[in-house]
Structure 1
Amino acid sequence: MKFSQSAALAFAASALAAPSTTTHQKPARAVGCASAVTLDASTNVWKKYKLHANQFYRKEVEAAVGQLSDSSLSSAAKKVADVGSFLWLDTIENIGKLEPALEDVPCENILGLVIYDLPGRDCAAKASNGELKVGEISKYKTEYIDKIVTILKAHPNTAFALVIEPDSLPNLVTNSDLTTCQNSAAGYRDGVAYALKQLNLPNVVMYIDAGHGGWLGWDANLKPGAQELAKAYKAAGSPKQVRGIATNVAGWNQWDLSPGEFSKASDAKYNSCQNEKTYVTKFGAELKSAGMPNHAIVDTGRNAVSGLRLEWGDWCNVNGAGFGARPTSETGLDLADAFVWVKPGGESDGTSDTSANRYDSFCGKEDAFKPSPEAGTWNQEYFEMLLKNAKPAF
């Protein structure tokens, strides 16, 4: 059965990059709970906890307020700093952000972390390749995962929500024809299973990245995708702190748009998941059949505006985008635990500089914002665009 390979390849190359490594002054706030936190991953923890507005993204936004080209946006821009978002630990060095980020997390908040440093990371990408080479799985385990585990164990009074390795397992479903993904496959499976097993702590809830409706939502990909994730879950010993999946990470898909954004495309009949609500429902059913927990969190950080992309596969700095729904547990769907902001809005997906080593052609496409800097680097003009196009408005 035909499906959009360009969509799969493109989203496999999603530029999912972390905030800059700058360490900022630490605010003084009440930290953690009075006793150890125990999260029941059989329940929706977002009903109790609020996603923490981590200090790194807060400082980026506060700096952006001082650089606004339109001073009338100042009041709205300041409000973005108060929105909860995930902290990306995309390198071994960036684990150094974790301790400072813990210093202002109150008991009622949950700190979101993205675990993202597999060997041969983003095997179909250019803009977001990682630091570890294929085969460096031992280094991933001992110098990356184990160090994060040590820190989380040292902070039992704080709640954590983890997104596990964006783009990894979905790549193995749709891009197995690429040599780079073939070479990375064993490390991806081993690494994800190891991360799930070691991070299975009482104060942690985990969601494995499952791409989105324009990637694993194709009819031919739903069952294989669910089976790939379930295998990693079972290889880890079916850890009880795994709640399910994360979808639309750094993505643009609408939550409940009908008809879907690409419903009129020539190959639309091969993808019934034209929005993330449908995808969470259908993929969730396949996960249940495969023997894995199937609840989801959905990234709504930049998906306020539809009809901007020329095709599903256009992932890089989509022009005309806006900040989407704020983090909330009120999703209207039992399988969807929460809308969250995983990708820090304002940080680039990849550079539009064609001479750069990490230039990806998707960042030069007609529907991509230009100019744009390297992945993870702040783009002031893009931030202002997201602010102006936010729905709901700030």
Structure 2
Amino acid sequence: MKFTQSAVLAFAATAVAAPSATTKDEPRQAASGCSSAVTLDPSSNPFKKYTLHPNKFYRDEVTAAVAQLSDSSLAAAAAKVADVGSFLWIDTIANIAKIEPALADVPCTNILGLVIYDLPGRDCAAKASNGELKVGEISRYKSEYIDPIVTLLKAHPNTAFALVIEPDSLPNLVTNSDKDTCKNSAAGYRDGVAYAIKNLNLPNVIMYLDAGHGGWLGWDANLKPGAQELAKAFKAGGSPKQLRGIATNTAGWNAWDLSPGEFSTASDAKYNKCQNEKIYVDTFAPELKSAGMPNHAIVDTGRNAKTGLRAEWGDWCNVNGAGFGVRPTSSTGDELADAFVWIKPGGESDGTSDSSATRYDSFCGKDDAFKPAPEAGTWNQAYFEMLLQNAVPSF
């Protein structure tokens, strides 16, 4: 799994922990689901009622990482990361099999976060997270990927689900439409996203459509086209009532409310008023509303505790010096921002630094990228330890 894009000024994100209070780490629990069917009200913030569940797969990765630490104080701090709620990435057809076991220990007070991420021609503007489905394989996406997920979620009506829909896909069509790979992927992206949100529109599900971040669609010239692109998908999917808005800063580095922004002194800063994610959420929301789409947001704070680390907005891969950010909480201080959440599992690589690898992307070899780094989605122990040591607030 990765983050975003190839170059173009309008990219990537800054990092800083949000100032609002964090929630207490949730203890691991064995109780599963509720005693009756869950109905999520899309007109209200689900994270006010439900705690993002610390899914077993990330907990297992963190537990294995703790076992490698010889420093007892660092190990004790690392162990606490396992109890932080995070999203589970369903980024291949095979990984659909993770949903059932991930459900086993979700109590009625929690909501299980899933990232829906397997479009044909995925990651059209970069190489690190190219997917398994080729351009044109939209029928496979629908029948072998989305349909089985829908069946599973329907089979568990007593569990609440929060879904992030297809990171990077529609934002790529806004800013990378000149790339042949994105031109070729466009029809499948639009069709696939519409199909996904239409069919995943279940009473126990709340959905957020990925909208990049302030350093990407936040540029003045991208705001309206970005909102229109997302709204078209929303309407093509039948305007599903369980879609509440957008996800921003997925796997990103942008600060929530750093002022002035990380790139506020850049020569082109005058063309982007969205110098942090708060400004982006508040600025993009009216554009979404005008385009006819719900406009609440969740913001990924999983790795945005430090700023000033990147050479430019577009540097997205394994940023060196990063730290875990604010824990998941609905206390954002902004009515439009439902919650700070951990979407990207901190410790899993964004992409390999091995320039001879098939999926090597030059962004993973830049001076501000951590090295060495394994393939996207693979655990990087040293990077995890860095995130832990640089965490704000600390563990």
- Judge same fold: TM > 0.5, yes or no: yes
Partner of 1:306: 307
Q: Distance in 2 between matches of 1:10 and 1:356?
A: 24
* Corresponding letter in the other structure for 2:138: I
The verdict on how the C-alpha distance between 1:297 and 1:28 changes in structure 2, with shifts beyond 3 A counting, is closer
Q: Distance in 2 between matches of 1:309 and 1:49?
A: 34
Partner of 1:242: 243
Q: Deviation string for 1:6-56 (max 9, x for gaps)?
A: 3457649xxxxxxxxxxxxxx971100000000001110100000000000
* SS in structure 2 of the partner of residue 6 of structure 1: coil
Preserved CA contact (<8 Å) 1:8 1:174: no
Preserved CA contact (<8 Å) 2:138 2:188: yes
Q: Distance in 2 between matches of 1:111 and 1:8?
A: 35
Partner of 1:251: 252
Is 1:214 aligned with 2:221? no
Partner of 1:226: 227
The verdict on how the C-alpha distance between 1:283 and 1:5 changes in structure 2, with shifts beyond 3 A counting, is farther
Partner of 2:364: 363
Q: Distance in 1 between matches of 2:120 and 2:374?
A: 24
Q: Write out aligned runs for 1:60-209 (5 A).
A: 60-68=61-69, 70-209=71-210
* Corresponding letter in the other structure for 1:337: D
* SS in structure 1 of the partner of residue 339 of structure 2: strand
* SS in structure 2 of the partner of residue 194 of structure 1: helix
Q: Write out aligned runs for 1:339-354 (5 A).
A: 339-354=340-355
* Corresponding letter in the other structure for 2:196: A
Q: Write out aligned runs for 1:17-56 (5 A).
A: 29-56=30-57
Partner of 1:15: none
The verdict on how the C-alpha distance between 1:375 and 1:10 changes in structure 2, with shifts beyond 3 A counting, is farther
Q: Distance in 2 between matches of 1:368 and 1:56?
A: 26
Is 1:329 aligned with 2:330? yes
* Corresponding letter in the other structure for 2:199: Q
Is 1:270 aligned with 2:271? yes
Question: Deviation of residue 72 (structure 1)?
Answer: 2.6
Q: Distance in 2 between matches of 1:151 and 1:99?
A: 8
Preserved CA contact (<8 Å) 1:5 1:174: no
TM-score relative to the length of structure 2: 0.94
* Corresponding letter in the other structure for 1:220: A
Which 5+ residue runs of structure 1 have no aligned equivalent?
Answer: 13-26
Question: Deviation of residue 70 (structure 1)?
Answer: 3.3
Q: Distance in 2 between matches of 1:5 and 1:383?
A: 24
Question: Deviation of residue 382 (structure 1)?
Answer: 0.3
Q: Deviation string for 1:328-378 (max 9, x for gaps)?
A: 000000000000000000000000011111111000000000000000000
Q: Distance in 2 between matches of 1:88 and 1:290?
A: 29
* Corresponding letter in the other structure for 1:196: I
Q: Distance in 2 between matches of 1:379 and 1:242?
A: 34
Q: Deviation string for 1:107-126 (max 9, x for gaps)?
A: 00000000000000010010
* Corresponding letter in the other structure for 2:158: N
Q: Distance in 2 between matches of 1:70 and 1:310?
A: 33
Partner of 2:287: 286
* SS in structure 1 of the partner of residue 373 of structure 2: coil
Which 5+ residue runs of structure 2 have no aligned equivalent?
Answer: 14-27
The verdict on how the C-alpha distance between 1:159 and 1:221 changes in structure 2, with shifts beyond 3 A counting, is same
Preserved CA contact (<8 Å) 1:251 1:302: yes
Q: Deviation string for 1:76-124 (max 9, x for gaps)?
A: 1000000000000000000000000000000000000000000000100
* Corresponding letter in the other structure for 2:355: T
Count of residue correspondences: 377
* SS in structure 2 of the partner of residue 316 of structure 1: coil
TM-score relative to the length of structure 1: 0.94
Preserved CA contact (<8 Å) 1:7 1:312: no
Q: Which runs of 4+ in 1 moved over 2 A?
A: 4-12, 69-72
Q: Distance in 2 between matches of 1:5 and 1:89?
A: 23
* Corresponding letter in the other structure for 1:289: S
Partner of 1:24: none
Preserved CA contact (<8 Å) 2:6 2:363: no
